[in-house]
């Protein structure tokens, strides 16, 4: 019964308010008009309500108030507004989100979430921001989109992988979008990523294809250990042709020139190995 709920909510706002709801407070006669209701025009209608104000089948909500109890006070009108808002709650959200979390997935971030029900759900835009100490300074960036299921009354499960090769602390949120363009943001989830530094890194030779000279660049990072580095050239059958590097190298970027002047055109491989590290890349000699 909305009228009973409204009365309760009004009293919860302020139990000193002087008011009566005519359809349910029939014992109060100070202001209730039970005989001249037919003379009232409701919402401009030429046909007035055919029930007295003491009948609970009337077509209108009739609230009477003493002059000094409700209507002459802005704060009391705000209380009435709050009570009405509490009585007639807004429509339920079109999507009921059960959970939303982030986890490190290899060198990426995997986001997973699920819904209990969906109404008119177009989908989810995934947004990311660098975490800062001040929420107002967050710069949200759309990084992806996942289609929704439209209408559903059964649990649905979603995931998205952020392969942006990040390092630092980040926040993620979902922007749930309806087919009519309305949207709602989820709560944010945060995650911290520490980019693991490789001890060795081997780059693609340049130029490639080449004739007859190309450059091979590799990096040794200072991770507290030292290993002898080997850079070797092999043909397509795996036969070793040349060893370009065979020594302990200091941390830094190193570049070695390879001259294939005396070799025939074709595919060749170069391999950097040191300790447990080993990486091979392909290059083409084109004469």
CATH 2.60.40.1930 fits 200-285, yes or no: yes
Shared fold status for 96-193 and 200-285: yes
**Where along the chain do its domains lie?**
1-89, 96-193, 200-285
Q: Strand 156-162 and strand 168-178: pairing? A: unpaired
Main-chain phi, psi angles of 85, to 5 degrees? -60, -40
**Do 83 and 6 touch, CB atoms closer than 8 A?**
yes
- Rounded mean pLDDT for each run of 10 residues along the chain, 287 residues in total: 74 71 54 44 42 44 55 71 72 77 80 92 94 74 95 92 83 92 90 66 92 92 73 93 91 90 95 87 93
Q: Is the pTM of this model over 0.75?
A: no
> 122: part of which helix (H) or strand (E)?
strand 108-130
Cα–Cα dist 168/173, whole Å: 17
What is the rounded CA–CA span in Å between residue 223 and residue 242? 29
Q: How far, in Å, CA of 114 to CA of 120, rounded?
A: 16
Q: Cβ contacts of residue 97 below 8 Å, gap of 6+?
A: 113, 114, 115, 116, 174, 176, 186
96-193, superfamily in CATH?
Immunoglobulins (2.60.40.10)
What is the per-residue pLDDT for 56? Answer: 44
pLDDT of residue 274: 84
């Amino acid at each position: 019964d909305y009228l009973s709920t409204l009365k309760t909510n009004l009293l919860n706002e302020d139990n000193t308010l002087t008011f009566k709801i005519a359809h349910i407070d029939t014992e109060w006669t100070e202001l209730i008009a039970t005989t001249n209701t037919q003379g009232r025009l409701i919402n401009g209608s030429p046909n007035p309500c055919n029930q007295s104000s003491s009948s609970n089948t009337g077509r209108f909500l009739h609230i009477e108030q003493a002059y000094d109890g409700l209507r002459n006070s802005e704060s009391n009108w705000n209380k009435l507004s709050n009570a009405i808002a509490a009585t007639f709650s807004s429509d339920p959200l079109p999507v009921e989100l059960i959970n939303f979390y982030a986890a490190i997935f290899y060198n990426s971030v995997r986001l997973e979430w699920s819904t209990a029900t969906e109404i008119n759900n177009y989908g989810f835009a995934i947004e990311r921001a660098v975490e800062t100490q001040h929420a107002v300074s967050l710069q949200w960036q759309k990084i992806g989109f996942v289609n929704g299921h439209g209408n559903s009354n059964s649990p649905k499960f979603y995931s998205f992988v952020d392969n942006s090769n990040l390092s630092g602390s980040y926040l993620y949120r979902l922007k749930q979008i309806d087919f009519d363009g309305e949207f709602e943001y989820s709560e944010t989830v945060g995650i911290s990523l520490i980019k693991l530094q490789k001890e060795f890194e081997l780059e693609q030779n340049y130029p490639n294809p080449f004739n007859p000279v190309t450059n091979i660049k590799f990096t040794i990072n200072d991770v507290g250990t030292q290993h002898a580095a080997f850079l070797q050239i092999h043909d397509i059958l795996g036969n070793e042709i040349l060893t370009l590097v065979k020594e302990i190298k200091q941390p830094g970027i190193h570049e070695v020139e390879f001259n294939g002047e005396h070799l025939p055109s074709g595919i060749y491989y170069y391999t950097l190995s040191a300790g447990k590290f080993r990486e091979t890349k392909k290059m083409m000699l084109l004469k």
